[in-house]
Amino acid sequence: MAKSTSSRNRSLPKGLLAGLLGGIAGAAVILVAEEIFPPHSESRPALIPAMADAQPAPPTPIEPARQKSMQYKALHWAFATAAGGVYGMAAEMEPSLAAWRGAAFGIALNRLTHESLLPRMGITPSKEEQSTQARVSHWISHAAYGVATDSIRRLVRHLL
C-alpha cells in the first residue's frame, strides 16, 4: 500500500517540480495517444496545394500551416507542463485530487480546455460542433495524459 504524504513532509516546491516533470511526460503521451486515436478522420482536406495549379506560389520561409502547427505544439508542451506543475502542487496539498491515478485530472483538464476555453477563444470548434471522433480522442488522450502525469509525479516525488 502506498504511503500518503503526511502534513510533515508536504512541500509545494517538490510537488511543483514533480508535477512539471510529470506534465512533460504527459504532453508526450497526448501526442502518442492522438496518433493511435486521431481527433480527425483521414478524409479531412489536405494542407498540400492542389496538383492542378500550374504556377506554384513562391516559397515562403515557413509555410503558414507549418508555422501554425509549430505554434500549436509549443503551446501544447508549455501548457501541459504548466498544468502538470499546478497539479503536482495541488496533489501535494490534497492527495485526494490524484483520483483515479490522475485520470480524473486529465478528464477535468479536457473539459476546461477543449470543451470550454479553446472554443471560447475561437481556437477550436465548440463542443457541439466537434465530431464524436474528436471528442472521444480528446477524452482518451487527456485521460492518458493525467495517468502519465500522475505516474511520473508520484515517482519523482517519492525520489525527492
Query: Per residue in 17-45, pLDDT tens?
Result: 999 999 999 999 999 999 999 988 754 44
Sorting pLDDT into bands at 50, 70 and 90, what band is 10? very high
Domain ranges across the chain: 12-38+70-159
Flag the least confident range among 20-24, 52-56, 61-65, 123-127.
52-56
Mean pLDDT of the chain: 85
CA distance 40 to 142: 16
CA distance 153 to 15: 8
Give residue 71's Cα distance to chain centre: 14
pTM of the predicted model, to two decimals? 0.79
